[in-house]
Structure 1
Amino acid sequence: MTALDPARHPDEGYSTDATMGTADIVFFVLAGVAPMGVVVALLVLSIARGNGVGVPGTYVIAGVILALFSIGFVRMSRRISDVGGFYSFARAGLGARAGGATAYVALVAYNAATIGIFGTVAYFGSEVFTALTGTPVPWQICAMTFFAIVAILAYFKVTLSAKVLGVALAAEVLALLSFDGAVLVRNGFHGFSFEVFSPSMVLGSGFGVSLMLAFGSFVGFEATALYSEEARRPHRTVPRATYISLAIISGFYLITTWAAISAYGADRAKAVAEANPQSFLFDAGTDYLGTAFTDLLQILVMTSLFAAFLAFHCNTARYHVALARDGLLPNSLARLHPTHGSPVRASAFQLTLLAATTLGFTLSGRDPYLDMGISLYGLGILGIVALQAIAAASIVGFFLRERRGESIGAAIVAPALGGLGLAAGLALMIANYPTLTGNTLLWVNSLPWSLLLAALTGAAVAAIRTHR
């Protein structure tokens, strides 16, 4: 059934057995964001290479921009309830060619992000299991294990994956909140300097890098729309899950970045992060809560990344379903499991692509984290922020034609402002792409061109289909 099928009621589910509630969708979103992985990687990199102690203020700016975007996003999701996400928005708001271009950008971006996360979790899994067992554990063994677990979970009803994600998410959030609390107890409220919000700090040198990484930290929150057809009462569930997810992500990153800076002091945090970014959070954890807590953090980094891998795989499979329904991918990928309602064909396609890419990187002797992980995840971040900017323009275009009782401020002004902020962030990401990937290889830093190629291909395919 297409996104704009008039026979479909806004609260009709993905199937007769739609089972996802608000909490299930929120778990998928927050797990895809990978709070622990973001804090250990992007947060520290933002402090070290960006605007230093102004990072918490940067998260506020990113949160406001995405909140403005979300005001229009949730209204659009009430009109369009299918697994197409941003692709469906672009098709409805900007036309078939823009929809085709967006579809293929989404195809590249989500697959790249999923494969990048897979390489990263395989690497960290090897590190963690080697430390725990005292015996070297090849990353390939971890990769095959994580691959098998996700393949099994993706086969069954989506709520099973949601429960797994909920457990992993709760553990990492509780651990980081424990760290935040320990810093507060030792340093008191006066230790949390409000200097981190001063315009001179937030907008100072390195702001572009920090804003880029802040947007990257939120990647995944838009997944609420991908589960609208599997949700109970999506007309209410999707907007509620979107607002809850964004509020939790914004507040969590704000508090945790502020606590990490306060742990070292506003005058020392940037210098320490620059000198030793890999152990920035772990050293602070040992200082405030002991070595056992640091050991737990290292394990939770692995589980956080695994949860993100599972969430992104499920998101990507649903994009495959949407594209297959509209003839942009083979029709067979749109078939669902007759009992579980899961997109088994689309899931298998994504896992096959992942396995082939991983094998290629392995045979070429590339590092699973530095080469496959960071480079492909960087491409995924760039593509998803581009999708958000396109979606903002699509929302404005749609409601300029079919406002039907929606307020101008909520349906047009807010998403337009959010879209301008996203476009500015996208420009900064392109300009600072080598910083995002941390790589000097020409082919790695040329990957953004693949998104343009995908957009042109998608627009051409959509144009051909339209004129048949």
Structure 2
Amino acid sequence: MAASLAKGRLGTSRLLHFSLTAATPLTVIAGGVVVMYAIAGQSGIPIAYITIAAILAVFAVGYTAMARHITNAGAMYAFVARGLGRPAGVGAAWVAACSYSALQVSLYGLLGLQGAALIERFTGAVVSWSVPALAAWALITVLGTRAVDLNAAVLAVLLAVEIAVVAVFSVSNLLHPAGGSLSFGALSPAALTGPGAGALLALAFVGFVGFEAPTVYAEEARDPRRTVARATFATIGVLTLIYVIASWSMPVAVGDDQIGQAASADPDLMFTLAGSQLGAAWFTIGQLLLFTSVTAAGLSFHNTVARYLFALGRERVLPARLGRTSPRTCAPAIASLAQSGIAGAVIVLWVLLDLDPLVDLFYSVGTSAGIGLIALVTACAVAVLAFFWRHRSGESAWTARIAPLLACAALAWVLYLSVAHFHTLLGVDQDALLPRLVPILVGFLAAAGIVWGLVLRRLLPETYHGIGHGSKAALAPIQETGLR
């Protein structure tokens, strides 16, 4: 097997397909937005999305600039390694691989339930959630070992249909306003107030997870110095437009004062509104497309995990076999199959233990993974600032100094709010075990990675000095200025 990914197969539009699909707009709106309204009990959700979008746009200034200097399938792992040092990079890699893997696996819980509901609706047969979950798992396993451009083509079709349906539902809501006239109360900054505001910002951040995906595919992109930045900013812009309009349309249709109660009473509020406004068939269409949306997201995150594992294997931070690609498809086949093995084992474990696929897998595991990813992006922001502090590399003061510094402060604030209000996100008491355990686990993963990096420095110096250098690991300098 080879040890390099396919070159020059992805343009800006293909990178955009991966990042937008990973964000799962329909899932975020049909599920996340409704949950946010239920938690908040008020209408300020669009402002939460605008706030997070502004923070991520500032972060992306330095992030995409650093991507022009460092091209690595390990993305944020490599950025942290080159910005904060190799041990910190390994710590970030462990958090990244585990968080993305957990997020991808969590989707099978929702996939299984949606698939089982659709099977019963169309055939009358009652099946376990594990049946459609394993069917989706098999499809993702096969596609994960195929050429990256085939994956992008599949995602492009699913994404186009998904966004079209979201647009139809949102326009329908705006054309059927409660009280007969449009309300703009949800777009007022004053609407985002109260004790639940911190939890809403954390959930809004999770809705954008996937915006960073273009850097993961930089080695497979055409002209990555330009396409990665274009795709990253386009992702933030498109998601912001979709989220703000869709989340605004719901209180318009229900009423600003009634949205919290309506969301709490009906988890399928978006589809219910579509069914009442457009006809009952649209409720079923929405559920069917939610299933395809989550499947597409599962494929996108699967590819992200595989490339992180590939990057770590190629640099021998993890077993070298993970760093091999298929000679026919140039896909990271071994790393892809490793992630499939993890996901399959989790599905089987959930069935054997009779755990709830929605609460215990999709929501709890997925939300916990979100905490890890917020911490990862925050660490990456610090790494970007540190990298450009040492290497201005011809970048402007805004790109290399001001934007990264603002991003560090803003993301640290979001991370604090996410951890402080994590119990609210999970719907449990503040002294419950899981809200306390997850931040500790994220810290443990980071610390364990740092320790492993130090072990490599002592026992395998050649491997250690290649950390963060990707395909050029063998040519990495023994010591970089300011880093060890």
- Structure 2 residue 213 is the aligned partner of structure 1 residue 223: yes
Of all paired residues, the percent bearing the same amino acid is 33
Match of 1:36 in 2: 26
Corresponding residue SS for 1:81: coil
Contact kept, 8 Å, 2:49 with 2:204, in 1: the verdict is: yes
| Contact 1:104 1:458 survives alignment (8 Å) | yes
Matched, 1:76 2:66: yes
Alignment partner, residue 6 of structure 1 = none
Per-residue CA deviation, residues 345-371 of structure 1 (Å, 9 max, x unaligned), is 000111111112222222111112211
The partner residue of 1:18 within 8, 13, 24 is 8
Q: Which residue of 2 is the match for residue 123 of structure 1?
A: 113
Code of the residue aligned with 2:309 in structure 1: it is: H
Q: How far apart, CA to CA, are the structure 2 residues paired with 1:145 and 1:434?
A: 33
Aligned-partner Cα distance in 1 for 2:366–2:177: 36
- The structural deviation recorded for 1:17 is 4.1
Instruction: Quote the offset at 1:467 in angstroms.
Output: 2.5
Q: Mean alpha-carbon deviation: is it higher for 452-461 or for 113-122?
A: 113-122
Alignment of 1:30-429 (within 5 A): 30-50=20-40, 52-187=42-177, 191-274=181-264, 276-429=265-418
Distance 1:103 1:189, change over 3 A: farther
Please tell me whether the aligned partners of residues 187 and 248 of structure 2 are also in contact (alpha carbons under 8 angstroms): no
Whether the 8 Å contact between 1:72 and 1:395 is mirrored in structure 2 is yes
For the 8 Å contact 1:386–1:426, the answer to whether it is kept is yes
CA displacement, residues 234-274 of structure 1 (integer Å, 9 cap, x when unaligned): 11111111011110001110010011111112122122112
Q: Paired residue for 1:462? A: 453
Letter in 2 for 1:236: R
Verify the 8 A CA contact 2:7 2:221 in the aligned structure 1: no
How far does residue 191 in structure 1 lie from its aligned partner after superposition?
A: 3.8
Instruction: Name the SS of the counterpart of 1:125 in structure 2.
Output: helix
Gaps of 5+ in 2: 460-484
Q: 1:25 & 1:179 partners in 2: Cα distance?
A: 26
CA distance in 2, matches of 1:15, 1:215: 30
User: CA 1:48/1:429 → structure 2, altered by over 3 Å: closer, same or farther?
Assistant: same
Deviates more, 1:61-70 or 1:417-426: 417-426
Structure 2 Cα separation of the partners of residues 166 and 235 of structure 1: 23
Distance in 2 (alpha carbons) for counterparts of 1:181 and 1:284 = 12
Quickly say closer, same or farther: Cα 1:137–1:240, change in 2 above 3 A: same
How many angstroms apart in 1 are the aligned matches of 2:451 and 2:78? Answer: 17
Deviation at 1:204, TM superposition (A): 3.4
Q: Which runs of 5+ in 1 are unaligned?
A: 1-13
Distance 1:337 1:266 in 2: 54
| Closer, same or farther: CA 444–355 of 1 in aligned 2, 3 Å | farther
**What is the CA deviation profile of residues 405-450 of structure 1, one whole-angstrom value per residue up to 9, with x for unaligned ones?**
2111122211221222221111121122233234579554423322
1:396/1:415 contact within 8 Å kept: yes
Contact 1:383 1:451 in 2 (8 A): yes
TM-score by length of 1: 0.93
Paired position in structure 1 for 2:465: none
Deviation at 1:279, TM superposition (A): 2.5
CA contact (8 A) 1:51 1:203 kept: no
CA deviation vs aligned residue, 1:112-170 (integer Å, no higher than 9, x gap): 10111122212211122221211112212112211111111111101111111111111
Q: Report deviation, 1:190.
A: 8.6
